[in-house]
Amino acid sequence: MSYMELFKVPEPTPELSRKSSIVGVGESDFHADYQAARANTPGYEGHTSESLAVIAFERALADSGLKREDIDGLGVNYLYGGPSAEETAAMLGLKPKHIMGQSGGICAGPIPFACNEIAQGKADTVVLIFSAATRSIGRSFGGQGVTTGGPSSYYYHHPWGWSSQAAHWALIWQHYMATYNATEADLASVAIQMRTNAMRNPNAIMQAPLTVEKYLGSRYVVKPLHLFDLCLVNDGAVCLIIRKADMARDLPHVPVDIGGWGHAAVKSGKLHTLVRERLRPQFQESGRQALAMAGIPLSEVHHFEGYDASTIHLINHIEGHGFVEPGAGLEFCKSGEMDVNGSLPVNMAGGILSGSYMHGWNHVAEIVRQLRHEAGPRQVKDVHTSMFSLAQTDQVHPVIFMRRETS
Amino acid sequence: MTQTRPNRTLGPGHDDFWAGCAAGELRIQHCNACDKHSWPVVGDCEHCGSTDLRWQVMSGKGKVVSWCCFVQDYYRGVMSVPYDTIMVELAEGPIFISNPADFAYDDITFEMPVEVTFIDAEDAAGAFKLPVFRKA
């Protein structure tokens, strides 16, 4: 499968809107596992992708109120390698009649694919598992080890010493500062908001308060980006159970319907589009697709979960999708609009900056809790529509979720 | 002084680029079908997919549109940190990632004019000329 094919999604059409629902969610113990790994506690052996997957699956199954025999579809996403879907099924005691072929790992493709395959009658209830022992395997994110297989910007500029995802975000931030007269202290507000959100989520990895002073005093990774501008690296797993919408009634929780999705990719001039336009054309196009499929305007989105690989990239999402004008994102964050009581609460579980690096899957898990209205101290009041948006350096994939109104 | 650098991407097409550098020329692929440039090196035009590409020598002039300083040692000592990288928009349009030759992070202003120069470098494949930029 080519790099670009990996991220394709089924055609977003209104006929597929709200035909599938998330009925179960499970996560591993991000916080406790991270603490144990850091502390190197005697007897702590760390996790494997398999052991994490089992934990997340068992929790999702219990959460859904379904039985193993209700599960007839399976998709597995072991980002850095793991057993096949068939081996996973055997490990989990499942006998799915349908195995999903798409396994990109990033949590935007698998959800639309599951919806499409449910609509095609291939399965009624699909278990999606994401699992990555990212920290335990010592995964690194830049340098000479990055070779062909991804976008050329990840490896081509080695002779100039330019590599890593962080370097992409650093160039964006430097350009943003020059364009909008922003300062490092302005960007600190995004890291601080994510930390504030994480502190309301017991399973978030980072729980210590963050201040502007602490942010500015932290080391640079790729200047002008500080340590707190870049996402975590940790082990973990998330499991989602997606069921045909008309079979999602009479379960313990309110179903969370998948309302729409979209996808747009940079086709040429990648670094120009990423740094100088901050993927705005792709945010706009993919968002338009997802909203049209769901049949709602952007103003109906009352909670947003965006892929916060870096603080500035989260701002790219907020501005790119049109929640605020270009250049207004940092002021929006500083004035508290992204907080739980703001006009657009963002990344309520702490995202991947302070929550857990689950490549977007934890963002979706939080959407499920929010739309069920079971998020406790970080619950967005009366929320009924949430938008998830995953953007890498050259692709944007939003997915819209809606709370099922019970009559 | 010859600088050791992380490895280049070599092979068909890429070798033509580095041969240009050896000759003191910054060559970029230009598409005869859509009149646009492609960089990094491609097999087909990144804009329109045409195979009708030819190497065009750039003026070497451009402006710095972004920049960053590597503090994290991603290359495990191959380059000593910290070091600066710049994103240059060439006069002809393409974006080119490079290094500053005679200036540093704190000297840079947005859209500062620069021009290409070539320095001696080596990687696992041998000695080569690396295009970097000086103040214009």
| DSSP letters spanning A303-338 | EEEE--SBHHHHHHHHHHTTSS-TT-HHHHHHTTTT
DSSP 8-class letter at A219: P
Å from A48 to nearest chain B CA? 26
What pLDDT was estimated at residue A176? 98
pLDDT at A80: 79
> How far is residue B45's CA from residue B47's CA, in Å, rounded to a whole number?
5
Tokens 């050791």, residue located = B4
Cβ partners under 8 Å of residue A207, min gap 6: A31, A198, A199
Q: Does A80 touch chain B (CB under 8 A)?
A: no
A225 touches chain B (CB under 8 A): yes
Is 80 exceeded by the pLDDT of residue A148?
no
In this structure, the dihedral spanned by the alpha carbons of residues A223, A224, A229 and A232, taken in order and rounded to 10 degrees, is -10
Contact A191, A231 (CB under 8 A): no
Which of A140, A158, A274 is the best residue to mutate to test the B interface, defined by the most B CB atoms within 10 Å of its own CB? Answer: A158
| pLDDT at A267 > cutoff 80 | yes
Distance of CA A260 to the CA centre of its chain: 16
Closest CA in chain B for residue A227? B72
Whole-angstrom distance, CA of residue B43 vs CA of residue A342: 49
Q: Residue B96 pairs with which residues in a beta bridge?
A: B88
Listed residue (A70, A122, A402, A95) closest to A247, CA to CA: A70
Alpha helices by DSSP H, A102-257: 110-119, 165-180, 184-198, 212-217
Q: How far does chain A reach from its first CA to its final CA, in angstroms?
A: 44
- Using DSSP's 3-state secondary structure scheme, residue A386 falls into strand
Tell me if A161 and B95 make a contact (CB, 8 A cut-off). Answer: no
Residue A231's pLDDT band (cuts 50, 70, 90): very high
Contacts of A388 (CB under 8 A, 6+ apart): A107, A108, A304, A305, A306, A360, A363, A364, A367, A398, A399, A400, A401
Choose from A171, A176, A270 for mutation: most chain B CBs within 10 A.
Answer: A171
pLDDT of B109 > 80? The answer is: yes
pLDDT value for A79: 79
In this prediction, what percent of chain A has a pLDDT beyond 70? 94
Tens digits of residue pLDDT in B19-73: 999 999 999 999 999 999 999 999 999 999 999 999 999 999 999 999 999 999 9
Q: Could you give the angle at the alpha carbon of A7 between the alpha carbons of A2 and A12, nearest 5°?
A: 135
B111 closest CA partner among B92, B86, B130, B131 = B86
The answer to whether the CB atoms of A161 and B85 lie below 8 A apart is yes
pLDDT at residue A116 greater than cutoff 50: yes
- In A180-272, which ranges are E strands? 220-223, 225-226, 235-244, 256-261, 264-265
* Topology of domain A5-138+233-403, CATH: Peroxisomal Thiolase; Chain A, domain 1 (3.40.47)
Q: Rounded to an integer, what distance in angstroms lies between the CA atom of residue B14 and that of residue A401?
A: 45
Round to whole Å and give the CA distance between B2 and A345.
Answer: 53
Which letter does DSSP use for residue A349 in this model?
T
Residue A222 to residue B87, Cβ atoms within 8 A: no
Distance CA A264, CA A133 (A): 29
- B62: enclosing H helix or E strand: strand B61-70
List, for residues A65-94, the tens digit of each pLDDT value: 999 999 999 999 987 788 999 999 999 999
- Quick check: A136 pLDDT over 80? no
Q: What is the pLDDT of residues A186-209, one digit of tens each?
A: 999 999 999 999 999 999 999 999
Report pLDDT for B130: 98
pTM over 0.90: yes
Grade residue B5 by pLDDT with cuts at 50, 70 and 90. Answer: very high
Residue pair A253/A63 in contact (Cβ under 8 Å)? The answer is yes
In the prediction, which pLDDT does A336 show?
A: 98
All structural domains of chain A with their residue ranges: 5-138+233-403
> To probe the interface with B, which of A140, A144, A155, A160 has the most B CB atoms within 10 Å?
A160
Alpha helix (H) ranges present in A65-164? Answer: 85-92, 110-119
Number of domains in chain B: 1
Q: Which domain holds residue B63?
A: 3-135
Tokens of A189: 């507000």
Helix (H) or strand (E) holding B21: helix B14-22
Mean pLDDT of B107-131: 98
Residues 6+ apart with CB under 8 A from A304: A317, A318, A321, A323, A344, A345, A346, A347, A386, A387, A388, A389
Among A240, A201, A202, residue whose Cα is nearest residue A60: A240
Q: Average pLDDT, whole number, for chain A?
A: 93
DSSP-derived secondary structure letter, A284: H
Count of residues making up chain A: 407
Higher pLDDT, A36 or A151: A36
**Is A1 a residue whose pLDDT tops 50?**
no
Q: In terms of CA atoms, which chain B residue is nearest residue A154?
A: B40
Closest CA to A245 of A100, A137, A401, A389: A401
Note the pLDDT tens digit of each residue in A315-359: 999 999 999 999 999 999 999 999 999 999 999 999 999 999 999
Instruction: Tell me the three state secondary structure of residue B100.
Output: strand
Distance CA B53, CA B34 (A): 10
Q: Tell me if chain B has a CB within 8 Å of the CB of A220.
A: yes
CB contact set of A38 (below 8 Å; sequence gap of 6+):
none
Q: For residue A80, give Cα distances in angstroms to A76, A83, A138, A140, A252.
A: 12, 11, 11, 12, 34
pLDDT by residue (tens digit) across A11-48?
999 999 999 999 999 999 999 999 988 887 777 778 88
- List chain A residues with CB under 8 Å of B28: none
Nearest to B66 among A155, A159, A275 (CB): A275
A166-190 pLDDT tens trace: 999 999 999 999 999 999 999 999 9
Rounded to 10 deg, the angle between the A165-180 and A311-320 helix axes is 60
pLDDT at A155: 82
| A400 min Cα distance to partner chain B (Å) | 31
